[in-house]
């Protein structure tokens, strides 16, 4: 099995299910409505909705970097202002997250193992290669899944 196949599998498990650690991102998001998603139950902490948008931003950034683009989201792009707090808006946000994640997994599946050690465009650190970035994305998703799980209970 190729390393990119393993990476795609880990991304899929972290996001959709059958992850070793426990509930995936989608399993944790299940049952959250727009009101709960928009709430800030802990002062100074992002809402579930903001975290979901942030995750989509980074899935998309990783995919674009794999295509050769130099991508570094600005603070406004990284944590954008949520303008529409409705059930329809929340469903649209979830659909965008799922689509963005699926696009990333497809890109990883077709990415050559021989490129995993290549430095990510725009990154100066020698360690910042595609292997580092893609495993980092899986870690990032699980980090935020944990935050969402706590916020869901608050």
- The mean predicted confidence, pLDDT, of the chain is 96
Look at residues 56, 54, 50 and name the one whose alpha carbon lies nearest to residue 34. Answer: 50
* Parent domain of 41: 3-153
- Total-model pTM: 0.94
Counted domains in the chain: 1
pLDDT digits (tens, 9 = 90+) for 57-105: 999 999 999 999 999 999 999 998 898 899 999 999 999 999 999 999 9
Confidence at 12, pLDDT banded by 50, 70, 90: very high
């Amino acid at each position: 099995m190729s390393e990119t196949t393993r990476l795609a599998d880990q991304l899929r498990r972290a996001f959709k299910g059958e992850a070793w650690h426990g509930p995936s991102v989608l399993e944790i998001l299940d049952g959250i409505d727009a009101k709960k998603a928009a709430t800030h139950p802990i002062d100074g902490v992002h809402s579930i909705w903001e975290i979901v948008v942030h995750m989509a931003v980074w899935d998309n950034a990783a995919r674009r970097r794999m295509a050769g683009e130099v991508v570094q989201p600005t603070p406004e792009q990284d944590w954008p202002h949520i303008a529409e707090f409705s059930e329809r808006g929340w469903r649209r946000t979830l659909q965008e997250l799922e689509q963005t994640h699926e696009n990333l997994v497809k890109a990883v599946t077709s990415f050559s193992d021989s490129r995993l050690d290549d430095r990510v465009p725009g990154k100066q650190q020698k360690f910042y290669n595609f292997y580092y970035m893609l495993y980092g994305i899986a870690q990032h998703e699980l980090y935020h899944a944990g935050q969402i799980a706590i916020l869901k209970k608050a």
